[in-house]
Amino acid sequence: MKPRDGRSGDEALGDVTEIAPFRRSTPRMLLRPLEEADWLEFARVAELSRLEWAPWTPAPESDQTGHAAFLGELLRTVQGAKSGTHVRLAGFTERGALVGTFALNEIVRGAFQSAYASWQVSSDLVGQGLGTVGVRAILDLAFDDAPGGLGLHRVQANIMPANAASIHIAEKVGFRREGVARRYLKIAGRWEDHLMFAVTKDDRDGAG
């Protein structure tokens, strides 16, 4: 990987695991930051899942595809970790298959202590409970105290009303519905309404 300034990808990004230290291990999935060596697996899953993800998730920034999309995600991972504004984790099965992406975005500190969660699961692995595992793991990470977690107070998620599987995951892991955001996100070229979900640390503590 050679960015335009001639530095290798390694030099440009630094040691991803050092910059983005958060990782979570569950019996069915390891969640860790994306690394350069993940490129082929990332490309396989992106191609396989493109049509299934398109109705529910924003198109890649600047219409990036292929290796540019991978580099964009890698950079978002590293820059988000450096600035403390994003924790973006890739989930992997024990055999090394990429399950999907589970992220805490737009992390705001101060009196808010909040983030927006996002998730997507590879089309060849849906329907096996892995989405639920990944979302639970990032909520644990969000609410656990530092240094292992982010010590946040609130996590929000916005989901299109027709995305029944995603709404089901949100409700299963403790998100409650708070309202409707009209024409909230541009998805597949249209400004789509989204249902607004949120969960706070005390909701989760109370739920055991």
Ligand X SMILES: CC(C)(COP(=O)(O)OP(=O)(O)OC[C@H]1O[C@@H](n2cnc3c(N)ncnc32)[C@H](O)[C@@H]1OP(=O)(O)O)[C@@H](O)C(=O)NCCC(=O)NCCS
The size of the interface with ligand X (CB under 6 A), counted in residues, is: 21
Could you tell me if 163 and 114 are in contact, meaning their C-beta atoms sit under 8 angstroms apart?
Answer: no
Could you tell me if 178 and 197 are in contact, meaning their C-beta atoms sit under 8 angstroms apart?
Answer: yes
What DSSP character marks residue 28?
S
Q: What is each CA distance from 6 to 12, 74, 80, 90, in whole angstroms?
A: 9, 18, 23, 27
Q: Least distance to ligand X from the beta carbon of 37, Å?
A: 23
Q: Which residues contact 65 (CB under 8 A, 6 or more apart)?
A: none
Q: Hey, CA dihedral for 95, 25, 140, 59, is it positive or negative?
A: negative
Interface with ligand X (CB under 6 A), residue from 35, 36, 41, 52: 52
11-19, 146-154, 158-166, 181-189 -> range binding ligand X (CB under 6 A): 158-166
Q: Least distance to ligand X from the beta carbon of 133, Å?
A: 7
Q: Least distance to ligand X from the beta carbon of 158, Å?
A: 7
By CB under 6 A, residue 57 contacts ligand X: yes
Interface with ligand X (CB under 6 A), residue from 1, 19, 75, 126: 126
By CB under 6 A, residue 58 contacts ligand X: no
**What is the enclosing helix (H) or strand (E) of 140?**
helix 130-143
By CB under 6 A, residue 56 contacts ligand X: yes
Binding site for ligand X (CB under 6 A): 52-53, 56-57, 119-121, 126-132, 159, 163-166, 168-169
